[in-house]
Amino acid sequence: MRKNYSLLHQFISLALLLSQAKSDPDPLQDYCVADTKTPRSFYFNSAPCINPELAVSSHFTTSVLSKPGNTRANPFGFNVTLTNTANLPGLNTLGLTMARVDIATNGLVPPHIHPRASEVTICLKGLLLVGFVDTSNRIFTQQLKPGESFVFPKSLIHFLYNYDSRAPAVALSGLSSQNPGAQIVSLASFTSKPPIETEILKKGFQITDRDVARIRNNLGG
């Protein structure tokens, strides 16, 4: 009886802890405009606030997403422009991020994850093939035309591909964290510092030494 009670107590405790887990803590005030000028002597979630009486409308607006990104900066042919506390101080503590995604013709935002956020993407221009893979290795894909949206669940591998060979594509994404993070699977596996042991990559991806060397070279590792 005591053993069953102890297990029940532990289960209830775990359930209560999990119920409190969120991507970002809820704000305790109307807004917390980020103080981007005062040097930080220590680090914590979000940025320190300015005096609320000093907040103005410009703290809550930005034009950073209106400018096309350079899709030639990486071999995949994409560029992501993010809002952050530097270019949009008013989003501090609000638990969200916006992103402009520019994708070249036949460009790809390769399989990646956001460890701290779910994502909703709307196609603004072009033709996109998007998708994610769940933990049972089931894939969900969809072709998006301008005005159509797709949701990527938190922490699941997903991708965006511009299957138009003649025109670039543009998408706008919203993510449910001020700092969603991003980890591209191929780069994390083959360009880590220090590198993952070759034998692990060979067995994990069922490839040869030559394949590992070639992939690392292609990815700049």
For the packed helices 209-219 and 198-205, what is the interaxial angle rounded to 10 degrees?
Answer: 100
pLDDT in tens, 71-92: 999 999 999 999 999 999 999 9
Residue 162 lies in a domain: yes
Instruction: Give residue 48's pLDDT.
Output: 87
Is 168 found in the same domain as 126?
Answer: yes
Is 143 found in the same domain as 119?
Answer: yes
The mean predicted confidence, pLDDT, of the chain is 90
193 pLDDT more than 70? yes
Residue 43 lies in a domain: no
Residue 50 lies in a domain: no
Residue 40 lies in a domain: no
41 pLDDT more than 80? no
pLDDT in tens, 110-158: 999 999 999 999 999 999 999 999 999 999 999 999 999 999 999 999 9
CA geometry: angle 64, 66, 67, nearest 5 deg: 80
Neighbour order of strands in the sheet with 169-175: 78-82, 97-103, 169-175, 119-125, 149-152
Is 151 found in the same domain as 202?
Answer: no
Structural domain tally of the chain?
2
Domain encompassing residue 201? 191-219
Is 150 found in the same domain as 78?
Answer: yes
